[in-house]
Amino acid sequence: MRRNNPDTVHPPLGGYSHTVRVPADSDLLFLAGQVGVDGDGNVMSGAREQTRQALDNIAACLAAEGMTFADIVRLTVYLTDSKDIGEMREARQAVFDATQLPTSTLLIVNGLAQPDLLVEIDVVAARARSA
């Protein structure tokens, strides 16, 4: 994968790359939006913990397909309150290698599937096919 931040565009405003080029021989994986709910159905408390749990869920989904966070090329984060941006970014930065950042979009939304959910994250991952 080729990640790039062109000199002709402003530097990223957060932890992301402006572009990621996926080789033609890559397998693509699309993950459903993940939320801060653990395997027992418990909703985590607060945006930081919900983000951490959503990222743990993403890690488990990626691992089930033989992928890691380094394979993520597109990340979309949905937050219900802009005051939670800092906590979400802190949790996100803990799992991404600063040299392998995906493209990213952050949206502030009116609500998610349940009223107690504060964050949802969906991703697209890609990995070169094995020979």
- Tell whether 15 is covered by a domain: no
- Tell whether 73 is covered by a domain: yes
In the chain, the number of structural domains is 1
The larger pLDDT score, comparing residue 14 to residue 93, is at 93
- The pTM assigned to this predicted structure is 0.91
Inform me whether the pLDDT recorded for 14 exceeds 80: no
Neighbours of 30 (CB within 10 A): 9
- Tell whether 62 is covered by a domain: yes
Q: By the 8 A CB rule, do 79 and 107 touch?
A: yes
- Tell whether 69 is covered by a domain: yes
Confidence class of residue 131 from pLDDT cuts 50, 70 and 90?
Answer: low
* CA separation, residue 17 to residues 35, 60, 113, 125 (Å): 23, 23, 29, 14
CATH of the domain at 98: 3.30.1330.40
Q: What is the pLDDT of residues 51-95, one digit of tens each?
A: 999 999 999 999 999 999 999 999 999 999 999 999 999 999 999
